[in-house]
Amino acid sequence: MPALRPRLGSSPLLRHLLVALVGGAVALAVLTAVDDFRAGQLAAMAYLGIAAAGLTVLTGLNGQLSLGHGAFMAIGAYTAALFLGDVEPAAPLAVVLLAATAVASLVGLVVGLAAARLHGPYLAGATLALAVAVPGLAIYFGDTLGGEQGLSVRVPEPPAWFADLLFFLTAVDPSRGRFVAYLSWFVLIVVLVLLANLSQSRVGRTWRAVRDHEVAAELAGISLTRARVVAFVVSAATAGLAGALMAMVVRLTAPSGFTLTLSLTLLTAVVLGGLGSLAGALIGAALLTFLPQVVTGIGSDLGLDDVQSAELAPLVYGVVMILVILLAPAGLVGTLQGWRLRRRAAAGPAAPAVPATARPSDPTRPSDPTRPSDPTHPTHPTHPTDKAGRA
């Protein structure tokens, strides 16, 4: 293994593909082993993970905050629903997914052009407005988009070659629901590999430069606007793709599925995992998917009724979100890495260099545990130590 590492480490693409292959095999095995209910949950985790990964690229790498990614998911979901409605014959899956991605990208381009000129709270407010505004359109154009009831989505039949392949690999025939779960995880892995490569490429470095040193980036000939818009489009496209999968998993696309809560939930996933970390986004998505069940169970044990118990999960997210910001702004992954790096550093100069310690699947690991350039990091070295604070 030690001999293998430098060779693999030398090519990010190879490394990512290897991790993706292993991840894909594990996902295939797990999805085959679990029951239908769990498969549904895992499918939900996959689409949340895709959307969160897109958001973490935008917020973590490019420093733009979006509270409106639920809106892009809605756009992707409605696009998919229109393709997968009553029209016969249903369009091929790839076409549906690409169309959802394309439409979300287009809207993302428009929003991104405006967003590129906004900072901090202005951008937050504008994207918040987007999240609130988009579901209203579905009601306004009720004839096409189904109004409050929404559009029901027919889950596509798995293609024959896929059924055959799966039968060959696992000796089971996939149900439609199961097929969507496999599909979601496949898309998740593809998206993660693409985003991981993107963030390690020149583009990703450009985005980070724009985030950390606006002026320096501009002096170096980087167009701030273009970098921001491209980041926004990529992120919106990813969210749209996630929305399309969500439509297939939920089998319904309605305004009530795209409330402000969805957008804030995505942000929660990103903050929980650590802004800018794809692995963190995945962990965040997993927490969002599986925590509610656990917490709701605890609520029932405490004697709360079902409706109340269901509210415990968001309560926990919110509290954790606040605690993360107050105590560990680098998120779970960032904090663990920082802690590990510090420990290695403390162990002496013989400790291996950073790349060997960082997870290969995480393209955005901090090269320096203190990450002074990270906008979300709290310990900006303010020079004069302010005495006593304010009374």
Partner 1 sequence: MLEVRDLSASYGAVKALDGVSFDAADGQITAVLGANGAGKTTLLRTLSGLVRPTAGSARLGSTDLLRTPVEEMTRTGLAHVPEGRGVITELTVEENLRLGALGAPSGGERRFDVDRVTELFPVLGQRRHQVADTLSGGERQMLVIGRALLAEPRILLLDEPSLGLAPRVVAQIFALLRDLVSSTGLSVLLVEQNARSALGIADVGIVLNLGRLVVQQAADTLVDDDQLRHAYLGF
Partner 2 sequence: MQQLLTTTLTGLVLGAVYAAFALALVMIWRSTRVVNFAQAPMAMLTTYIALVIIEAGHSFWLGFVAALLAGLVLGAVVERVLVRPVEGKGDLNAVILTLGLFIVLHSVAALVFGSRYRSFPAPFGVRGIEVGGTTVALTGFGIFTILAVVVVMGLLVLLFRFTDVGLRMRASAHSPEVARLLGVRVGRMLTLGWALAAVVGSLAGLLIAGGGLVHPGYMDAVVVYGFVAAVLGGLDSPGGAVAGGVLLGLCLSFVSGYLGSELVAMAALLILVAVLLVKPSGLFATTAHRRV
Q: Which parts of this chain interact with partner 1 (CB under 8 A)? A: 381, 383-388, 390-391
Shortest reach from residue 108's CB to partner 1, in Å? 39
d(CA 100, CA 340): 40
Shortest reach from residue 380's CB to partner 1, in Å? 12
DSSP state, residue 257: G
Pairing of strands 252-253, 151-152: antiparallel
Considering the complex, state which of residue 184 and residue 289 has its C-beta at the smaller distance from partner 2: 289
Considering the complex, state which of residue 50 and residue 58 has its C-beta at the smaller distance from partner 2: 58
Shortest reach from residue 371's CB to partner 1, in Å? 17
Considering the complex, state which of residue 221 and residue 382 has its C-beta at the smaller distance from partner 1: 382
Pure H helices in 302-378: 306-327, 331-347, 354-357
Count of Cβ atoms closer than 10 Å to residue 60 Cβ: 29
Q: Which helix (H) or strand (E) holds 113?
A: helix 93-115
Shortest reach from residue 27's CB to partner 2, in Å? 29
* CA-based R_g, the chain, Å: 22
Residue 312's binding partner, choosing from partner 1, partner 2, none, with beta-carbon cut-off 5 to 8 A by kind? partner 2
Shortest reach from residue 368's CB to partner 1, in Å? 16
DSSP state, residue 252: E
d(CA 241, CA 104): 8
Which positions lie near partner 2, rule CB under 8 A?
A: 59, 63, 65, 67, 114, 117-122, 124-126, 128-130, 132-134, 136-137, 139-140, 259-261, 264, 267-268, 271, 275, 304, 307-308, 311-315, 317-319, 321-322, 325-326, 329, 375-376, 378, 380, 389-391
Structure tokens at 132: 């609130």
Residue 388's binding partner, choosing from partner 1, partner 2, none, with beta-carbon cut-off 5 to 8 A by kind? partner 1
d(CA 373, CA 60): 12
